[in-house]
Amino acid sequence: MSSRIVETATNIVIPFMILYGIYIIINGHLTPGGGFQGGVILGSCALLVYMVFGIKKHGEYLSIFENIGALIFLFIGLSGIILGGFLFSNFIARGTPGTITSGGTIPFVNIAIGLKVAAGFAILFFIVLEYIERRD
Amino acid sequence: MKAKIGFIIVLIFGILVFSSLKLEFGNDVGITAEMYIEKGVSETGAVNLVSSILADYRVYDTLGETIILFIAILGVSMILKGDKK
């Protein structure tokens, strides 16, 4: 359905988009961005792949990724009760501000949210495109 | 019917614009915002203040946001997934 030009351009662009999304998620506590924004970038990568190469039957694997993200997020929150005293307490050492290891639990929360949002948006696009394909 | 809806929309827009003329921006922003600005970096260790609010101070709201996203995906999949059996 799609042309050879679009497929080649997508093959070139997709690794950079994935790298940029991961960069936005991991540097969420240093530069503008965060888990939700980087997750949306990764989810739009999935949309590009679906639109160019067609959808495959892998919606179940995506829901596993979303569950893993939600479970990491809740695990950070619940371990904050044990180690810090209240839910979602920042129990890891803060570090020097400006470095990649600073922020305590904030990078881990960003990674969990990014995983969950990326998988969630991929599921959303998957379901909508599958519905359109089946209706036609 | 469309004229009534359009009139209501214009009325609401006018009320919002008229009430926003009295707002004064750039003044004192309140105790909580000043606390975030002053102590945000030293308390959370994150340079990005927005991220420190979203993932540390207001992380309950982020939890609710992810639950809302989950429920939205659940609703879309229930409506559009179809019945295969």
Render pLDDT for A52-73 as a digit per residue (tens, 0 to 9): 888 776 667 888 888 899 999 9
Render pLDDT for B67-84 as a digit per residue (tens, 0 to 9): 999 899 889 888 887 665
Determine whether the interchain pair A106/B66 forms a contact, defined as Cβ–Cβ distance below 8 Å: no
Question: Which residues, other chains included, contact B24 with Cβ-Cβ below 8 Å and sequence gap of 6+?
Answer: none
B49 CB within 8 Å of a chain A CB: no
Determine whether the interchain pair A29/B54 forms a contact, defined as Cβ–Cβ distance below 8 Å: no
Looking at residues A101-124, what average pLDDT do you find?
90
Residue B59 covered by a domain = yes
Say what the pLDDT of residue A58 is: 66
Residue, of A111 and B20, whose pLDDT is higher: A111
B80 CB within 8 Å of a chain A CB: yes
| Helix residue spans in B1-85 (DSSP H) | 2-20, 31-44, 49-52, 59-80
CB pairs under 8 A between A and B: 105
Nearest beta carbon to residue A128 from set B41, B66, B80: B80
- Mean pLDDT in chain A? 88
Contacts of B64 in chain A (CB under 8 A): none
Residue B74 covered by a domain = yes
Q: Measuring CA to CA, how many Å separate A68 from each of A43, A60, A63, A71, A112?
A: 16, 13, 9, 5, 8
Winning range, highest mean pLDDT, from A14-18, A27-31, A33-37, B23-27:
A14-18
With 90 as the cut, is the pLDDT of residue B12 above it? yes
Determine whether the interchain pair B82/A131 forms a contact, defined as Cβ–Cβ distance below 8 Å: yes
Say what the pLDDT of residue A10 is: 92
Which residue of chain A is at minimal alpha-carbon distance from B56? A106
pTM score above 0.95: no
Say what the pLDDT of residue A17 is: 94
Rounded to two decimals, the ipTM of the complex is 0.81
* Shortest distance, CA A85 to any CA of chain B (angstroms): 14
CB B41 within 8 A of CB A97: yes
Q: Which domain holds residue B51?
A: 26-80
Residue B15 covered by a domain = no
Residue B50 covered by a domain = yes
3-state secondary structure at position A57: coil
Which residue of chain A is at minimal alpha-carbon distance from B70? A120
**B62, HSE (Cβ side, Cα atoms, 13 Å):** 29
Which residue of chain B is at minimal alpha-carbon distance from A95? B45
Render pLDDT for A36-47 as a digit per residue (tens, 0 to 9): 999 999 999 999
Tokens standing for A122? 């991929």
With 60 as the cut, is the pLDDT of residue B85 above it? no
Nearest beta carbon to residue A116 from set B51, B66, B76: B66
Render pLDDT for B32-49 as a digit per residue (tens, 0 to 9): 888 888 888 888 888 888
Render pLDDT for A84-101 as a digit per residue (tens, 0 to 9): 888 888 888 888 888 888
Domain count, chain B: 1
